[in-house]
Amino acid sequence: MTKLDVELSGIKQETIEMWKLVESQLQKGLSALLNFDKDLAREIVLIEKRVNGAELKIDRDCEDILALYSPVAVDLRFLLAVLKINTNLERIGDIAEGIAKMILDTKEPFKKPLLDVTMVIEMYGECLQMVAEILNAFEKEDSAIARGIFKRDELLDQINRKANDLIGTYVSQHPEDMEQALTVLSMIRRLERIGDQAENIAEEIIFYIEAKVLKHLSKRDKNID
């Protein structure tokens, strides 16, 4: 391996480690929501500081490699992709932290019928699977796995589109749960954005592997090899 290869391998491992931190935030967040576990919610907030530190280090390391080695072709695409993936991961961490803070600010456990009717738990689980799947695509450098993310995001979009009507109906029947219902609606909006970030990461993986730019294409076109 050349010195550049060693440096690029190190960057990839740093990114995977950051990814797993973000994944742990989401896993803890789902458990905190289901079990109304405020200790877990506090852990998520603490992990976010590590995620932010990892983001800054990866940025610096990528910039150093660009300056020292002037990489070209696939190596350059890899670094450019990592810089953007790094930002997307940090944003997912921010979203996980935001949901954790909502749990901390809530006075009593979320009502199960509210969680059921809004499908927020299913949505959270789908976000977790997307983040894990896109990590698998990155580790294996598999653009086919990355393309699968675009279809998976459709479920998040569907739940998000129905959220206003479902919340409105629920609140009309349970006005005493208005505050919790609005909190869950806010969670749904944030979870939908995790899907958007996962799609962005998928685009960067495909750019790195195939040298194809998918930004601004429809989801149907993104799924075409």
Tens of pLDDT, residue by residue over 93-138, are: 999 999 999 999 999 999 999 999 999 999 999 999 999 999 999 9
Name the pTM for this structure: 0.92
Residue-range definition of the domain harbouring residue 59 = 3-222
Asked if pLDDT for residue 78 goes beyond 90, the answer is yes
User: Which CATH number belongs to the domain containing residue 132 in this structure?
Assistant: 1.20.58.220
By CB atoms closer than 10 A (0-12, 13-18, 19+), residue 173 is exposed
DSSP 8-state assignment for residue 141: T
What pLDDT sits at residue 217? 60
Task: Please name the amino acid found at residue 42.
Answer: R
Of how many residues is the chain composed? 225
* Structural contact between residues 207 and 77, judged by C-beta atoms closer than 8 angstroms: yes
By CB atoms closer than 10 A (0-12, 13-18, 19+), residue 165 is exposed
What pLDDT sits at residue 153? 85
What pLDDT sits at residue 191? 97
Structure tokens at 113: 């019928």
Q: How many domains does the chain have?
A: 1
Residue 16 CB coordination number (10 Å): 13
Structure tokens at 178: 């208005």
* Structural contact between residues 10 and 79, judged by C-beta atoms closer than 8 angstroms: no
What pLDDT sits at residue 171? 95
Helix (H) or strand (E) holding 162: helix 143-173
The whole-number average pLDDT for the span 3-7 is: 96
Structure tokens at 1: 């391996």
pLDDT band at 59, cuts 50/70/90?
Answer: very high
Q: Residue 213: CB partners within 8 Å, gap ≥ 6?
A: 203, 207
Rounded to 10 deg, the angle between the 38-69 and 73-105 helix axes is: 160
pLDDT (tens digit, 9 = 90+) per residue, 177-213? 999 999 999 999 999 999 999 999 999 999 999 999 8
